[in-house]
Amino acid sequence: MAEILVLVDHVDGEVKKVTFELLTLARRHGDAAAVWIGPGYEGAKDKLAEYGAAKVYVAADEELTSYVVAPKAELLAQLVAERSPAAVLVAATGEGKEIAGRLAVKTESGVLTDVVDVADGFVGEHSIFGGSIVSHAKVSKGTPIIAVRPNSTAPEAAPSTPAEEQVSVTLSDAAKAAKVVEKVVQEKGERPELTEAAIVVSGGRGVGGADNFKLIEELADSLGAAVGASRAATDAGWYPHTFQVGQTGKTVSPQLYIAVGISGAIQHRAGMQTSKTIVAINKDPEAPIFELVDYGVVGDLFQVAPKLTEEITKRK
């Protein structure tokens, strides 16, 4: 079977869940060949084996992670040229999409971004315009480069014993033009990352103030969920902008999305409409969010949310 390159998404050796989703997808269409760039492979190799990587290309040179994006694209372009993979899969994160973009230019290949599934012939499925339209697209030139939205495929373990191959690339000067002089890791606390979380609890205009977001956080913590916020809430300064879910914020696709005090304007729906199960608590029975829900409660969030948190805690 043809090889499919999967770029491993990791932070200093800690592999992101989306990588296991990509490996799972790749195995459906060929042999999954993970591409590891940067330090920390030894601590992560078992995880890649667990999710069925048939091979791992290891490029451990720190130089590859000392510059913005370009070196990773250069390494992948070299692998594409030498190994002629059937396709290249990356995570549709901010950086993943940029790597895909540069790789597409280098290899003169078509690129699909933010796909939610990959069918035979590398046809990518997109959920566009706030989830109102489902479209399918394929690459008609070069090697298909596909950026896959995190959380859109359920990762399946398939233990393997991957062959390892050390690879390196001589970087061009152009790839070394934007130097990363410092990586600043911001304390995230105990909560899972928004785009990777299985459950997301978001608060909106109805929450009414920064202090009240404690209710949202408590509900999220009872479920082990990430916290999100609508644009109304972040624009008001009640919750940091990095947690904004929506058209101009993060796109999430969790198993369960709980919208609290969020009306469900198109701006917000664009960021959460592909969630598998949707629950809403809102005092306005006409709120458009109720068109999307699997379960909705019309009521005062200040009454309903704390009771829900209490009930969940009680049932644990």
Partner 1 sequence: MNIVVCVKQVPDTATERKLRSDDKTLDREAVDGVINELDEYAVEEALTIKEAHGGEVTVLTMGPAKASDSIRKALAMGADKAVHVSDEALHGSDALSTSYALAQVLKKVGFDIVILGSESTDARTGMLAAMLSERLGVPQVTLANKVEIDGSSLKAQRLTDYGFDRVEASLPAVVSVVEKINEPRYPSFKGIMAAKKKPVEKLAVADAEIDAAKVGLAGASTEVVDFADAPPREKGQIVKDEGDGGVKVAEFLASKKFI
What is the smallest separation between the CB atom of 243 and partner 1, expressed in angstroms?
A: 12
For residue 168, state whether it binds partner 1 (rule: CB under 8 A).
Answer: no
For residue 50, state whether it binds partner 1 (rule: CB under 8 A).
Answer: no
For residue 178, state whether it binds partner 1 (rule: CB under 8 A).
Answer: yes
Nearest one of 210, 239, 223 to 315, comparing CA atoms: 223
In degrees rounded to 5, what are phi and psi of residue 119? -100, 180
Between 112 and 262, name the residue whose CB sits nearer to partner 1.
Answer: 112
Which SS3 state, helix, strand or coil, does residue 85 take?
coil
What is the smallest separation between the CB atom of 176 and partner 1, expressed in angstroms?
A: 9
Which class for 302: exposed (0-12), middle (13-18), buried (19 or more C-beta within 10 A)?
middle
Write each residue from 10 to 49 as x if it is in contact with partner 1 (CB under 8 A), else as -, in one continuous string. -x----x---------------------------------
For residue 81, state whether it binds partner 1 (rule: CB under 8 A).
Answer: no
Total residues binding partner 1 (CB under 8 A): 97
Write the DSSP string, 34-45: EEEESS-HHHHH
**Binding to partner 1 in span 96-125, by CB under 8 A:** 97-102, 104-106, 108-114, 123
Written as six digits, the tokens of 240 are 């940091």
Nearest one of 138, 110, 134 to 124, comparing CA atoms: 138
Among 42, 81, 84, 135, binds partner 1 (CB under 8 A): 135
**Binding to partner 1 in span 190-249, by CB under 8 A:** 193, 199, 223, 241-242, 247-249
State how far the Cα of 195 lies from the Cα of 257, in Å rounded to an integer: 12
**Binding to partner 1 in span 258-287, by CB under 8 A:** 265-267, 270, 273, 277-279, 281, 285
State how far the Cα of 297 lies from the Cα of 300, in Å rounded to an integer: 9
For residue 300, state whether it binds partner 1 (rule: CB under 8 A).
Answer: yes
Q: Are the beta carbons of 90 and 147 closer than 8 angstroms?
A: yes
